[in-house]
Amino acid sequence: MNVKQFVKQHRDSWSQLEDLVTTLHKRKSSISGEDVEQFHRFYQKASQNLSYSQTYFPNEDVTSYLNELVLKAHNLLYRDQVSSFKQIRQFFGVTFVNLFIKQWKFIVLAMLLFVIGGIGGFISVVQDPLHLYSILPSGMAQAVDPEQLGKNTGAVDSPLMSASIMTNNIQVAFLAFAGGITFGLLTVYVMIHNGILVGALAGLFWNYGKSYEFWAFIVPHGMIELTAIFVAGGAGLLMGYKLFAPGKYSRGYQLKQNAKRSVQLLLGTIPLFVIAGIIEGFITPADFSLETKYMVAFITVLGLIFYIVIGKLLLRRNPITVSHD
């Protein structure tokens, strides 16, 4: 293939890429998915053409032209990536906080379900410690030894523990969220069940007179971790409620509308789980004083409050609307 044939065969796609680069550069918003798909397709094709031209026509004008065209497209692509980072910042700085505030009733309800389960598990084990074996999974019940609390910390693989805990907690949160599709019934079960597990453990350590030590190993990561789980549970309850009582809209419409909000709430919890996993993997098993661990818990609570307050201030400066239908 000579250079004239090469240009004739591909110039239409190059022209379309040029038009797209010009159009997308001017349109900062309202870019359709079809535009993005076409842009990527023509950009990839032009990159391949540039590689071919550099090999077979290195001194021809077409090579310089393609190099400039691909560079323009690349810069536009990079600009879009920067825009994506801005969108992430917008989501965690404003959108998530807005949803958190507007759907606080469902989040509080999820917390109350957890607390009810926790009280039930606590009372049951305090009254009869043997109930622990019917509440906890057998492997967990056998492994719990209040006398060894805080000992042998040097044997803990902190990175492995952090990753394992974070994965488990995200799974619990996702299950609580996904339970919304069952009209919230599975979400209710997950919240109460996990509350019972924590309450049962608290009851066991109460019987041994080690509640202070037990909570010192729970609250540093637990304040963030439980907040994230309550948010995920609230997301599931929101979706379940809208399916159970769709109002003037169809259940299909409510599912579509509220699934989006619930997913956004769930996504907003991921950084919280990452922070909680790091604390639980590196600080909780560390040989710090119990007072230091309670101080870490206090700092995490202040951090959560600070995050919400800053988010509300940003929301006032950049208000967004979330439908309540």
pLDDT tens for each residue of 200-220: 999 999 999 999 988 998 899
Q: Is 125 in the same domain as 54? A: no
Range of the structural domain that residue 83 is part of: 3-92
Compute the distance between CA of residue 80 and CA of residue 261 in angstroms, rounded to an integer: 24
- Is residue 53 located within the same domain as residue 77? yes
55-62 CB contacts, 8 Å cutoff, 24+ apart = 56/1, 56/6, 57/3, 57/6, 60/3, 62/3, 62/6, 62/7
Mean predicted lDDT score pLDDT of the chain = 82
Domain boundary residue, one of 43, 66, 92: 92
Q: Are residues 213 and 249 in the same domain?
A: yes
Distance from C-alpha of 244 to C-alpha of 308, rounded to nearest angstrom: 30
Of 264 and 195, the structure prediction assigns the larger pLDDT to 195
Which of 11-41 are b and which e, b meaning 16 or more Cβ less than 10 Å from the residue's Cβ? eeebebbbebbeebeeeeeeeeeeeeebbee
Q: Which two tokens stand for residue 199?
A: 């309450």
Q: Is residue 80 located within the same domain as residue 120?
A: no
Answer yes or no: do 169 and 248 share one domain: yes
Residue 128 placed within a domain: yes
- Type of residue numbered 202: A
In a domain, 176, yes or no: yes
Same domain, 175 and 292: yes
Copy the structure tokens of residue 172. 């619990």
Q: Does one domain contain both 299 and 258?
A: yes
Q: Where does the pLDDT of residue 27 fall: very low under 50, low under 70, confident under 90, or very high at 90 and above?
A: low
Q: CA angle, corner 267, sides to 98 and 167, nearest 5?
A: 140
If one compares 125 and 280, the residue with the highest pLDDT of the two is 125
Please say which residue of 92, 113, 128 terminates a domain.
92
176 dihedral zone (left: phi>0; alpha: psi -120 to 50; beta): alpha
Look at the alpha carbons of 80, 307, 291, 151 in this order and tell me if their dihedral is positive or negative.
negative
Q: Rounded distance, CA 308 to CA 302, Å?
A: 10
249 lies in a domain? yes
Res 182: pLDDT:
92
How much helix, strand and coil, in percent to the nearest 5, is found in the chain?
85, 0, 15
Per-residue pLDDT at 325: 45
At 163-183, the pLDDT tens digits run 555 666 778 888 999 998 899
pLDDT at 73: 81
Q: Quick one: 223 and 192 in the same domain?
A: yes
Q: What is the pLDDT of residue 150?
A: 58
What's the structural domain count of the chain? 2
Q: Could you give phi then psi for residue 53, rounded to 5 degrees?
A: -65, -40
Helices (H), 179-250: 185-207, 211-216, 219-244
Please report whether residue 47 resides in a domain: yes
pLDDT at residue 324, as a whole number = 43
Q: Do residue 75 and residue 143 come from a single domain? A: no
Does a structural domain hold residue 281?
A: yes
Under DSSP, the state recorded for 29 is S
Cα end-to-end distance, the chain, whole Å: 61
Residue 325 in any domain: the answer is: no
Same domain, 147 and 76: no
Residue 252 in tokens: 């299909």
Residues 24, 83 contacting (CB under 8 angstroms): no
Contact in structure between 39 and 18 (CB atoms under 8 Å) = no
Does pLDDT of 229 surpass 90? yes
Contact partners, residue 113, CB within 8 Å, separation at least 6? 188, 191, 192, 195, 233
**Domain presence at residue 97:** no
Lowest mean pLDDT among 14-23, 106-115, 216-225: 14-23
Which of residues 58, 92, 126 is at a domain's end?
92
Q: pTM of the prediction?
A: 0.68
User: Are 110 and 84 in a shared domain?
Assistant: no
Number of other residues whose CB lies within 10 A of the CB of residue 121: 27
The reply to whether 39 and 181 lie within a common domain is no
